[in-house]
Amino acid sequence: MIEDAEARSEDRFARPFDVCIVGSGPAGITLARRLGAKNLRIGLFEAGGLELTAESQDVYRGVTSGTPDYYPLDACRLRYFGGTSNHWGGWTRPLDAYDFTAKPHHPLSGWPIGKQDLDPYADEAADILNLTPDRPPPDLFIAPEPGLTPRLFRFSRPVTHFGEKYRAELEASKEIEVVLNANLVDLKLDESRRSVTEAVFRTYERPEPFSVKAKAFVLCLGGLENPRALLNADSQAPDGIGNENDLVGRYFLEHPHAPVGKVVVRDPLTRMLVYSPTPDFMRSNAILNFGVRIGDFEQWNAIDFTGALAPQPPCTVDFDTLLAAAMKGEPPPCPAHVGDVFVACEQELNPDNRVRLIAEHDRFGLRRIELDWRVSEMDLRTLHTAATEVAARLAARDRGRMQIVDWLLNGGAPTADRLWGGNHHMGTTRMSDDPKTGVVDANGRVHSVENLYCGGSSVFATSGHANPTYTIVQLALRLGDHLSETLR
């Protein structure tokens, strides 16, 4: 069922839930459906309504700092049913196995779980996300290229906007109660401060709060709001819940995105090409993971994009003429042989990349946040190596030629028009076996609280280069299995 918290009766939530989930994005809805299918009684609480409103979106306002400039915080997220999936473009792929492993040149890297722990949920995640079929990745190089591996992105088509796809199912559900316009304002702990006893919510029109009891509580509010909720829950824990080691909000991760050049290639670009480094290549160059994407930017973002670029007539122009036209800045005689090169890369773990509370309060009395995000020397070295390596391989194999953008080649500053984030908010309640290096354990449970969990990309220990939605869904399915076993 779906109901509005504004219309609640005084004793509406007197009966405890098995699990109280806060947030109805990809993590929250996936987790609720998983637990509901196991006949558990679930409360799914969403701060917004069924449609976007200015009053709900205003709660996301905050400030940013660092280099380059980041997006306005009330523009890069959506605060209504379905969450930020409502403006998801549908790009996705799983993390690679080596994304989960520790790297000697990247301190604190490594997850307490491996790819093998998420693989059992691959097919179900693909179904949830309406993914295009899996297939071998296209490859520009005729033979295997040492150090580089071709990769495939899959696309959600139609794009899974979770609030749209699952609304009817949730309305009909007897196990899942979706409650709209319910804004989390506090988490209450027992006397030992080892267990959450209730979550406290407020609506927009009624001043009095209401409390919800449950056996377990899960925050699925995203990579910025999960830490904000924990830090604002300071009525019993002065530094915020789970923040005994000053880690909540730290190690914020993005995927630095940068156009790095243009290419002219001998064979037409019929599909987007993606290349990532091998573990040995990353180690030997002291860089992180990346995805070099070669193709046509405009077609990548087309609404009906399925991975294949629009067909072009055969080219009768020789390669040298194509190259000369590109060098002169002339329109390409054969557009399918000319493309853009774009890099999205993993980001270095930096404790100073963080979400912190500021003095300004929102309408519910909660402190707003500042996001401090900056790119490091290792981030820039990863981008530079990705671009120069692909350019060198194209020329050495005579598969094409690439012109690298001047600022990256010559060590210029990463300004907002040259480099930006992917709207991927990760790492702020990172997963670790050790409470001194992470906020949640391998199952997503806050280390210091027995029945409080975090879902979504805030638990990512590292980011890899892949868009996070696929992994978010896999983690939510895995958490659902863990909670159902634990509660029973």
Radius of gyration, CA atoms only, the chain? 23
Among candidate residues 325, 319, 340, the one with its CA nearest the CA of residue 266: 319
Specify the CATH number for 1-93+162-254+350-370+426-488; select among 3.30.70.120, 3.30.70.580, 3.30.930.10, 3.50.50.60: 3.50.50.60
Domain residue spans of the chain: 1-93+162-254+350-370+426-488, 103-112+132-152+256-345+376-418
Per-residue model confidence as pLDDT tens digits over 57-116: 999 999 999 999 999 999 999 999 999 999 999 999 999 999 999 999 999 999 999 999
The span from the CA of 277 to the CA of 104, in Å, is: 16
**Which positions ≥6 away from 217 have C-beta within 8 Å?**
19, 20, 21, 22, 187, 196, 199, 451, 452, 453
The span from the CA of 440 to the CA of 452, in Å, is: 9
- Helix (H) or strand (E) run with residue 169 in it: helix 167-172
- Give the length of the chain: 488
Strands 354-361 and 2-4: unpaired
User: CA–CA distance from 275 to each of 239, 344, 348 (Å)?
Assistant: 43, 11, 20
| pTM listed for this prediction | 0.96
Strands 338-345 and 176-180: unpaired
Query: pLDDT 10s per residue in the chain (488 long)?
Result: 999 999 999 899 999 999 999 999 999 999 999 999 999 999 999 999 999 999 999 999 999 999 999 999 999 999 999 999 999 999 999 999 999 999 999 999 999 999 999 999 999 999 999 999 999 999 999 888 999 999 999 999 999 999 999 999 999 999 999 999 999 999 999 999 999 999 999 999 999 999 999 999 999 999 999 999 999 999 999 999 999 999 999 999 999 999 999 999 999 988 889 999 999 999 999 999 999 999 987 766 543 445 555 666 788 899 999 999 999 999 999 999 999 999 999 999 999 999 999 999 999 999 999 999 999 999 999 999 999 999 999 999 999 999 999 999 999 999 999 999 999 999 999 999 999 999 999 999 999 999 999 999 999 999 999 999 999 999 999 999 999 999 98
